[in-house]
Amino acid sequence: MKNTFDKGPESWCSYDYHASIVAGKNNIFILPTHVKTGGVNNSGYIWADQTRWSADTPEVPMSILPFIFYRSWINADFINLEDASVSVYLRGDDLNLFNAKCYFWILGNGSRWHNIANPLEISKSEWAKTPQKIDISSNESDWHNSWNSRNRSSSLIEDLRNCESYGFSFVGFEEEVSGKFSMDEFEIKFLS
């Protein structure tokens, strides 16, 4: 499963928690900007900035979800990410993280897990020569459970097997992250 972003944002969005609160009980997701050229090997890519995201304050610690993808947005079922790997190119232009780390995360059964064992590098003002790769681990010590929508804790393995959403987060910031954050060539591969 691959998102090349050659023709558009392919259902990826940013999450604006503060706008969601103002809107009542409706979550507000904002499409990133799609650029037709300038990505990896001059392909298309997407970007978002602080005008599209805000801190998700119920998360512990607070998180920003600059890129988020729900399987239901493409009329797809949950996905089993057990024994999968992710590769991606991430780039920042005038991106101030304020000491935040960037992580891949998953959401399953209403629980969000950040893959803290693999903080991601964001290349500065240019695309990296090779994508970053994450082998998805089912070891809970490699993850941090930041939020549960149903006031219950499910196991990581259960949530990996029933993943409804995934994306990238900024966690541990001293001030809200600002600047241009870009993504290209997102891919999930199944190892078995």
Query: Domain tally for the chain?
Result: 1
For 72-105, how does the pLDDT look when each residue is reduced to its tens digit (9 = 90+)?
Answer: 999 999 999 999 999 999 999 999 999 999 999 9
Instruction: Evaluate if residue 150 carries a pLDDT over 80.
Output: no
* Residue 9 belongs to domain with CATH number: 2.60.120.260
Q: How far is CA 48 from CA 41, 184, 190, in A?
A: 20, 12, 28
How far, in Å, CA of 181 to CA of 123, rounded? 10
How confident is residue 109, by pLDDT bands cut at 50, 70 and 90?
confident
The model's pTM: 0.95
How confident is residue 149, by pLDDT bands cut at 50, 70 and 90?
confident
Residue 107 belongs to what domain range? 2-190
Q: How confident is the model at residue 116, as a pLDDT?
A: 98
Angle among Cα 165, 171, 173 to the nearest 5 degrees reads: 150
Residue 91's φ and ψ, nearest 5 degrees, are -140, 145
